[in-house]
Amino acid sequence: MKNDHDISGFEQQLTAHAVTVEQLLIRLLDERPRLGEVTRPPRLMAAIRHGALNGGKRLRPFLVTETARLYDADPAAALRVAAALECIHCYSLVHDDLPAMDDDDMRRGMPTVHKAYDEAAAILAGDGLLTYAFDIIACDETELPVKTRLDLVASLARAAGIGGMVGGQALDLMAETASPSEAEIITLQAMKTGALIRFACEAGAIIGNASEQERERLAEFGSAIGLAFQLADDLLDVTADAATMGKATGKDAAAGKATLVSLHGVDWTRQQLAGLVAQAEDLLAPFGEKAQTLKEAAHFIALRQS
């Protein structure tokens, strides 16, 4: 991977896609109660919108729709699955920012939900986003076969839950007091941030009714870029400033928290990133030209500056 790889074209594509995701999220998160709901409390909805409609990169949704595109799958259905995954990602950020977790005041350049509202509102906003994600996928408006929706719900639950993101967060909290080994750091990161990115890539294969082999290949691609994402994040924690990131940086070092960057240094990390991008590109080789944007995504993840 060349450090001068041009990711600006990809960034434009990602930004345009983020607008489409945002538009769907705005519709999904309006105050109109859906069938079976009694009412949508306005303050809860305001806190939810603060946590979800505030200018994230929308990378995970992009990965869902791009992998689904490999199979010419229904773009509207893929977009709904993408939005559902983003709801889970946003919930994880809202809860991660709470005083009991990472205790952050700023996220995406704005006050965190518990700062703008209060802690109870932030907990409930996260809970609401988490449960709504499964509603979005399971309901009939997501026009996919019932078996496909079930498969997506089960896979997303596993990625987000005990043996995935939630478990990874638990291991991460423990790592603040015990020094984890390198293998333990890799495991916790694969769970905490890797699992949702892996699901994002696998989701396209599920939506597209791909073979088991291709589903596994895309999931592996997701794992490779998920690890790259975390390495790049740890690198930015060391090299970027808070204004660029829209959140506090230097927190890991200040807390004495071990990361692969603190164990091996910046040069080693950059080499690892290059290796992961090469691995990701190899995994996409069978998809040919159609996977070009996903290759660009792998470069973007490794080279991103915010």
- 22 lies in the site for ligand GRG, by CB under 6 A: no
The residues facing 302 across adjacent strands are none
Segment interacting with ligand GRG (CB under 6 A) among 51-59, 72-80, 148-156, 289-297: 51-59
Interacting residues with ligand GRG between 171 and 230 (CB under 6 A): 192-193
From candidates 65, 169, 259, 293, binder to ligand GRG by CB under 6 A:
169
Length of the chain: 306
* Shortest separation between residue 46's beta carbon and ligand GRG, angstroms: 19
Would you say 193 or 272 has its CB closer to ligand GRG?
A: 193
Phi-psi region of 108 (alpha: psi -120 to 50; beta: other; left: phi over 0): left
- Residue 98 Cβ, how far from ligand GRG at the closest point, in Å? 8
Please identify, using beta-carbon distances, which residue of 130 and 206 lies nearer to ligand GRG: 130
Backbone φ and ψ of 117, nearest 5°: -120, -110
Selected from 24, 28, 52, 59, the binder of ligand GRG by CB under 6 A is 59
Q: How many CA atoms does the CB half-sphere of 102 hold within 13 Å?
A: 21
* CA pseudo-torsion sign 106, 107, 113, 114: negative
- Which span (28-36, 163-171, 178-186, 283-291) binds ligand GRG, by CB under 6 A? 163-171
Tell me the window of 2-10, 29-37, 93-101, 178-186 that interacts with ligand GRG (CB under 6 A). 93-101
Do 51 and 127 form a contact (C-beta atoms < 8 A)?
A: no
With contact defined as beta carbons under 8 Å apart, do 96 and 172 qualify?
Answer: no
Site for ligand GRG in 241-280 (CB under 6 A): none
Q: What's the longest Cα–Cα distance across the chain?
A: 55
Q: Between residues 78 and 245, which has the closer beta carbon with respect to ligand GRG?
A: 245
Give least dist CB 192 to ligand GRG, A: 5
| The one among 65, 67, 92, 142 contacting ligand GRG by CB under 6 A | 92
Using the structure block, give the residue that is written with the tokens 């996977």.
291
By rule CB under 6 A, what count of residues binds ligand GRG?
A: 16
Q: Which region among 28-36, 92-100, 144-152, 259-267 touches ligand GRG (by CB under 6 A)?
A: 92-100
Q: Can you tell me the distance from the alpha carbon of 156 to that of 90, in angstroms, rounded to the nearest whole number?
A: 14
Residue 51 to residues 71, 109, 238, Cα–Cα distance (Å): 32, 12, 26
Phi/psi for 107 (5° steps) reads -150, 130
Residue 158 neighbours by CB under 8 Å, 6+ apart: 164, 195
- Which positions touch ligand GRG (CB under 6 A)? 56-57, 59, 89, 92-93, 95-96, 101, 108, 165-166, 169, 192-193, 233
